[in-house]
Amino acid sequence: ELMMSSAMKAGGLARLAAALCGGRAGGCAAGSVRLLHATPTALAKRKAGQANISKKKATGVAPTTYSAYTCTDDFRKSFKLDRHVPVAFFEEALGRPLPKPLMNELMEYEASEVAASKGDSSWRIEVAVSLERYQRIFDTPHEEELKWIAFRDEINVEKSAMLQAEVTQNRKEAEEERLRAAGDGRGGGSNISLMGEETTFVPAPRTTAADAANDRTSLNRKLDDKLYLITKAAGVDGEWRMPQAAYDESESTLRAAAERCLAEFVSPETEVHFVGNFPVMCETTEFASESDGVVGSKRFYFRAALISMSADVELPADKFTEHAWVTKSELDQYDPEYATLLHSFMP
C-alpha cells in the first residue's frame, strides 16, 4: 500500500504500474498485447501513451500520465491471473486493493473488449444458453438434522396418539353400529377407525434408477442438485459445450438469438424460462490468424430454467451426437478448461 501511495503521489500510472510489478516496468510494456475492440477513448489513451514514450526517448523526460496497460490481458499476464478472471475480481484475486484510476481504466477496457456491435464485422458474434434443471428435493440432511427430524417425528406421533377414553368411545360406537347393521340385516361393520395413532409417513427414496445406473442422459437423477445441459458436436473432434449458435443480424436482440438457439436444441413442447434479458458472461476468443477480416469470436451466455417437470425432455439429435445432464462438479470430467469458464457465473 505504501508503494502504491508513493507511486500515486509521484504522479502518473506508469510509475504506479512499475511499483505493482516490483520495479519490473518492462514486464508491463506498452503494446505487448494488442487492444481488443478498442473504444475511441481507449485508442486515444493508447496513442497518448505511445507519444509519451517517444517523448521520453527523445528528451529523457518521463511521461506524466500514461498507463502501461493497453488491455485487461496485459494486467492478467503481469500478475499471472487466469484469463477468465473478470476485472471486478482482480482485487480479490490479488488479495489487495488497487488504485481507483487504474480500476476505472481496466473496467473501460473490459467493457470495450466484450462489446457487441452490429456494425463491427471484425468479430463473430455468437450466443450460448445455460439450460438448468433446478433441484427437486431438499439437500441431503446432515447428521444433526437427521437427529432433529427423528425427535420431531417422535413428538408428532406422541401428540397424534388417542387418549384411552377416545379409544374406548370409538370401540363403543363401532359396536353399536355393528348391532344396528345386524338388526337391519345389512351385516358388515363400522368404518370408524380403531387405530390408536396415525400411520408413519414413509417418503420416496432420494436416489433413482438413473442414479444407480449413472445415466447422465436422464433428468431423473441428482434430484438434490442442479443439472446443466451439455452437448457434444458431431465430428471426431467434437467438444462438449452448452447449446450455442451464431447471431443473426436480422434478430433484434441477443436475447432473441438465445431463444432461437435453444429452440434448435429442445423440442417445442419443452417449457423454459429465460432468467433476465442480459447475458451473464461473454467468452472472448482471439483467433491465431485473421480469417476474412474476422479476428475472433464473442460468445454471450444466457441462463434459462427448465420448467417442465417430466422425467425426461425430448432433444432432437440433428444438432449433436451426445448429450448429458450434469452437475457443476461433474463438468470437470468433460472439459476442465471449459468448466472453469462456466464456473465464473454458476452459483
pLDDT digits (tens, 9 = 90+) for 56-84: 444 444 333 335 778 888 888 888 888 77
Cα 171 to Cα 138: distance, rounded to the nearest angstrom = 41
Give DSSP secondary structure letters for 229-296. Answer: EEEE-SSTT--EE-SEEEPPTTSSSHHHHHHHHHHTTS-TT--EEE--SS-SEEEEEEEEEEETTEEE
| Alpha carbons 265 and 268: distance in angstroms, whole number | 9
Is pLDDT at 334 greater than 90 in this prediction?
yes
Predicted local distance difference test score (pLDDT) of residue 200: 65
Per-residue pLDDT reduced to its tens digit, 228-281: 999 987 665 678 999 999 999 899 899 999 999 999 888 888 899 999 898 999
Alpha helices in the chain (DSSP H): 2-10, 13-20, 40-59, 72-78, 90-94, 100-113, 143-160, 164-183, 209-213, 254-263, 336-343
Q: What CA–CA distance (Å, rounded) separates 31 from 21?
A: 17
Q: Mean pLDDT across the stretch 157-163?
A: 75
CA distances from 299 to 115, 128, 145, 281 (A): 11, 7, 43, 8
**pLDDT of res. 240:** 92
Average pLDDT over residues 163-170: 81
SS3 23: coil
* Torsional sign, CA 113, 116, 118, 122: positive
Residue 247 CA to residue 300 CA, distance in Å, equals 10
b/e string for 298-336 if b means 16 or more Cβ within 10 A? bbbbbbbebebeeeebebeeebbeebbbbeeebbeebee
pLDDT at 173: 87
- Nearest partner of 275 among 134, 137, 136, judged by Cα: 134
CB 133 within 8 A of CB 306: yes
What is the reported pLDDT for 7? 38
Residue 176's SS3 state is helix
